[in-house]
Amino acid sequence: MKRYEERKEGYSKALERLVEALEEQETELNVDAVLHRFEFTFELAWKTMKDYLEYIGVIERTGSPREVIKSAFSFGIIENGEEWINMMLARNELFHLYDEETSRKIYYNIKEIYINLLKELKNKLEEK
């Protein structure tokens, strides 16, 4: 339980920092900051879901982000499994290659879609 609570707190703080970055004026430097904070926040999001699923006895300590997302969807922790998979794929694209057009598309998806999913997760975890 302690590990889950610590991870949840770290996730909440990372999400706050991502929200702060999204509120700033859109400059090249800010876009880079948002993308970096998004990567970090996503990592904490899926690992927090994993810790919660372990805590309630649903999954073992192993599991890829995709498996964790599927389990979290199955157990009602997240509502839009398909968009979470899309978010994971976007994070993977950022991690493995950098191209201006792709990174801008991901930036706008963060602003329009992913930030809401991340906030919903935080709210759901606070209910539990």
The reported pLDDT for the residue numbered 1 is 77
CA angle 90, 79, 89 (to 5 degrees): 10
**All domains in the chain, ordered by first residue:** 2-127 (1.20.120.330)
pLDDT digits (tens, 9 = 90+) for 91-103: 999 877 778 889 9
**Longest pairwise C-alpha distance within the chain:** 44
14 within 8 A of 44, measured Cβ to Cβ: yes
Label residue 43 exposed, middle or buried (CB < 10 Å: 0-12, 13-18, 19+). middle
**pTM summary value:** 0.93
DSSP 58: S
pLDDT digits (tens, 9 = 90+) for 51-70: 999 988 887 766 899 999 99
Label residue 68 exposed, middle or buried (CB < 10 Å: 0-12, 13-18, 19+). buried
